[in-house]
Amino acid sequence: MQTRTLADWMADVDAYVAGPAAMWAQEIEATGTVPQAVWEELNDRGYLRLTAPRDLGGYGLSFTDYLQLLERFAAMHGSMRVIVHVTNSLWRSLASKASAEQLERFVKPFIGGQLRATFTLTEPNSGSGADIKTTARREGCEYIVNGEKWMIIFSDVADYFLLFCRLEGTSGGEGTLALMVPKDTAGLEIEWMAPAMGITGTQHGHLRLVNCRVPVSNRLGEEGDGLEVAFRGFLDPSRTAIGMTCVGAAKRSLELAAEHALARVTFGQPLAKRQIIQMWLAEMATDIEAARHLVLHAARKFDAGQPITVEASMAKMFATEMLQRVTDKALQIHGGPGYFKSSEIERLYRDARMQRFEEGTSEIQKMVIARDVLDKAKAARERRNRG
């Protein structure tokens, strides 16, 4: 496989984002669909296997290096950004508990672009965690799966759904399963959900599973490993990566706002001459830089093999809320013309709102962070009491 430096990758991505990706953005917004050619082009350029290990067919970039590329990708159309982000994250879940046979059957084809899979956890009547209600019952060499999943991204193009469920009669984290469910499984019905506010062209599905028979050989890990496959392999790095996509989108919003402030003349002078505009630009730039450092701090710990659950939640929470502040100020600087769909800032503003839902809301992140704060306080109190 061709060896490239990080600088090579950066130059390549910058050129792609400014050229072909910008043209695709216009087509996606005009047609409301993401052409298959977009997937093929991103795969052919190697963008969908940047983080995967070389022995599995990827380029083996460190997480920190990859995030510096993802910051650049985040200036693309939201749907294209999601493709790059999810594909470079999901292989971890697939590979985390895969057998040697499953590495060949599922993981390597996914990394190589011959197979598409999508993360299938969220349900209409439960949260995205230990309260999943979709069940499985083992009968011989098969599981009989019943339940519902919804808001499942890439439902239109996935060959397999990496579906999380639980053995009948279990609760909490016990008895959870990670199953690779083929899209053509009998009893699996996919209903397309209404178009989203942003990320135009990305299709979400509502899955209904009625007595779906899934081979036991499609189970990743053992019975009871489902949530570990979902969270340990995917969630922490994905939350961190979302933080960097917010940095990239905010940076592009700041660039557009600054360019508009220099060009737009009112009452005989550019907007950039007005002190309030200068204050907003300064706040936006500082917000972006603070988020970038939080994200990179988590990434460096991840590369060092250290746990990052709390750091990932901090990075994700701060960066998503930062993006809302920055895009709001950027749209305000653009004024009325920025509100129309012919404006790039209008699309960025719409796309930005999704990141606050991806991989858990800010409220979920705050719960993770608060739990860590309280655990440390309890431990400190116990040490004092023992002393």
At 2 the pLDDT is 62
Report angle CA 90, 245, 194 to the nearest 5 degrees.
Answer: 70
Tokens standing for residue 339: 């509100």
Enter the DSSP assignment of 341.
Answer: T
Domains in the chain: boundaries: 6-112, 117-224, 228-381
What percent of the chain has a predicted confidence (pLDDT) above 70?
99
Q: Identify the CATH homologous superfamily for domain 228-381.
A: Butyryl-CoA Dehydrogenase, subunit A, domain 3 (1.20.140.10)
- Of 204, 219, 207, the residue nearest 354 (C-alpha): 204
Provide the mean pLDDT of the chain. 95
Given this structure, which CATH class describes domain 6-112?
mainly alpha
pLDDT mean over 188-205:
93
- Of 172, 180, 181, 182, the residue nearest 224 (C-alpha): 172
At 334 the pLDDT is 97
Given this structure, which CATH class describes domain 117-224?
mainly beta
pLDDT mean over 181-196:
96
Q: Does the pLDDT of residue 233 top 80, yes or no?
A: no
Exactly one of 71, 346, 358, 359 is catalytic; name it.
Answer: 359
Q: Does the pLDDT of residue 35 top 70, yes or no?
A: yes
pLDDT mean over 328-350:
94
pLDDT range class, residue 235, cuts 50, 70, 90: confident
Q: How far apart are CA 49 and CA 113, in angstroms?
A: 8
At 387 the pLDDT is 77
Cα→Cα distances 359→27, 158, 163, 197, 320, Å = 28, 19, 16, 18, 11
Q: Does the pLDDT of residue 247 top 70, yes or no?
A: yes
pLDDT in tens, 152-166: 999 999 999 999 999
pLDDT in tens, 89-131: 999 999 999 999 999 999 999 999 999 999 999 999 887 677 8
Q: Are 148 and 134 in contact (CB under 8 A)?
A: yes
Helix and strand element counts for the chain (H, E)? 13, 9
Active site annotation includes 359: yes
Alpha carbon distance, N-terminus to C-terminus of the chain: 58
Q: DSSP string of 18-82? A: HTHHHHHHHHHHHHSS--HHHHHHHHHTTTTSSSS-GGGTS----HHHHHHHHHHHTTS-HHHHH
Q: How far apart are CA 370 and CA 366, in angstroms?
A: 6
pLDDT in tens, 317-336: 999 999 999 999 999 999 99
Q: How far apart are CA 348 and CA 168, in angstroms?
A: 43
Q: How far apart are CA 260 and CA 263, in angstroms?
A: 5
pLDDT range class, residue 357, cuts 50, 70, 90: confident
Task: Report the range of poorest mean pLDDT among 121-130, 223-232, 368-377.
Answer: 121-130
Kind and range of the H or E run holding 145:
strand 142-153
pLDDT in tens, 43-80: 999 999 999 999 999 999 999 999 999 999 999 999 99
Q: Are 153 and 238 in contact (CB under 8 A)?
A: no
Q: Does the pLDDT of residue 173 top 90, yes or no?
A: no
Q: How far apart are CA 102 and CA 97, in angstroms?
A: 9
Q: What is the pTM of this model?
A: 0.93
pLDDT mean over 286-315:
97
Q: Does the pLDDT of residue 1 top 60, yes or no?
A: no
Strands (E), the chain: 117-120, 135-139, 142-153, 160-167, 176-182, 188-192, 204-215, 265-266, 269-270
